[in-house]
Structure 1
Amino acid sequence: MKRLLLAAVGSLFLAAAPASAAQASTLDEVKARGALNCGVTQGLPGFSYTNDKGEWAGMDVDFCRAIAAAIFDDPAKVKFSPLSAKDRFTALAAGAVDVLSRNTTWTMSRDTTLGFNFAGVSYYDGQGFLARKSLELKGAKDLEGASICVQSGTSNEVNVADYFRAEGMSYKEVRPFDTFDAAITAYETGRCDVFSADKSQLAALRLKLTNPAQHVLLPETISKEPLGPLVRHGDDRWFDLVKWTYFALVNAEELGITAQNVDEKLKSSDPRVKRLLGTEGKYGEDIGLTANWVVRMVRAVGNYGEIYDRNVGPGTPLDIERGINNLWTKGGLHYGMPVR
């Protein structure tokens, strides 16, 4: 009987194997299509927006360009799909985009019940409040009874409710808005006293106000907002590819590999550099790419630090210090898993 049972189980496994193997992977589909489909915001300076030239730009945009460069050796082979907070998960689940790179917070429910995998934390953030200087607020504790604007379809609504409940304070939530622009317009026209969102978003949206200097971010950070790219469950190789794109960009910065010196670094005798750049081992091939996949990415968009500095760092309109978004070797939280 035991032998018959084992034979039956083996037959079922063999019958199922061809169907599973026949399913096209996301990487195969992207290669056949000739472009990566990337879901981004509808316009958030520094992260994903169209610049004065009508080109997509920002940290989240550069992450997708890095993936395209790794696959095609061409960072331009990306189709960007602007998605609202409300529609982003539906688009990813339906296969309309291959990866969602859109200031999305990694939470337990999103990671376990929506059918997605977060590939890493590309930006460590926290929620805060934007207020008019004329209100002379010293901090969030002065917001008792205030009216607050938030965007719908985000965790911002829950975080505001949690904060005021924990502090024993009351507030009035102005009807949630479908887009950032609608919410910030409501704030600027006086429909609410303050606007609450992730602090990086507030820094970006503040630039859209008629007179940004008349508005200030309050000092408090009321939540943890680890933002990162995500993919659908069910394709581990694609998950690995997107995850290791992030790790590779961080490792490149840690090892001093930049867009300017990457070709020179190919001559390095450092085994960590050799493995990362593909002159030793077959790490790229293991995720369906070429040996020089990291070289392709860094040539195209630079390492993590270069991406950060170019889009949101000091000297840019957002002027955000690295802080916790620095490397672990410099007091930050970014830590690339080792290539070995």
Structure 2
Amino acid sequence: MPNPIPNRLRPPPRTVGLNEADRSRLPSCSDCHLPAFGAFKTPHGCRLCGFCWGRLACLERLPCPGARKHHACRGAVKFHQDECSPDQEARLQLSGVFIECWNSSSGCLYIMPYMKLSTHEAQECQFKLVSCTGCHRNLLRRDLGDHQRSDECRQILIANLGNYGVPNDGDNMRIRPPPRTVGLNEADRSRLPSCSDCHLPAFGAFKTPHGCRLCGFCWGRLACLERLPCPGARKHHACQNAVKFHQDECSPDQEARLQLSCVFVECWNSSRGCLYIMPYMKLSTHEAQECQFKLVSCTGCHRNLLRRDLGDHQHSDECRQFLIANLGNYGVPNDGDN
């Protein structure tokens, strides 16, 4: 089943209740001649709907798509997608036009003003294709609840989990092992709040219903699928004979988190070369926004590489050729997924 297509690369929605005369008075696209929903103005005076604007390649300057049909830009110089500006007048005029849902072909019968289309599809439409967070299968939103409770989804999720529900790729933030502390001797470390399971400092701590303290890593390893014995039951007096419990029954241990917030730690990417040392409270911000040794994905060719190498890579012939090979006319991805 295909992945959902972002709004700007979707053809304009179909209007409802308009005759030919009414439709001819609406602002239209200079390229496809359909109503210019999500309209942009080119530097030469053409009006493009969001779909035709979205098809303009970001890689180079191209002739205006309306040059074949619109007097204002015959022979005009090439221009870049970013040189277009939103056509607020056309957008306002079309905001109250009644249209069908983008998912009408899948069964949605809802009719609404265009201004409500994005909200309806994002939050309400039961016929939108969504992805199951467990097995990553695409299906209609109305079928998601039954699917996630099915044996099929459960078996796929279990097959992709390690002990206590650790995804095999280990990329999730909450299931990373605690960062390494810096500048603490054994006595200092022994006074820090520790995890009842791994006995390391309980960064991102949670309290179980039985009084155990788990670090964010050990808490993250608890399977969400069923109720499990507390991982600390082997080592902690408070839950020797405790009944099984669910991950969601744990609560954040604010006291331990506050105590550990100022402990100095290494960056999670120290093994890749990052030498930055910081208080734990700054670790997530450093990694998300600053760390040059974090693995990031190129938006063009989807290759994973260090953040410090991303700029040079995106300007390289290798990335450019890969992106061009996966684009059709005016930058429409050949598989229709982008």
- Normalized per residue, the structure richer in helix is 1
TM-score (norm 2): 0.25
> Larger C-alpha radius of gyration, 1 or 2?
2
TM-score (norm 1): 0.24
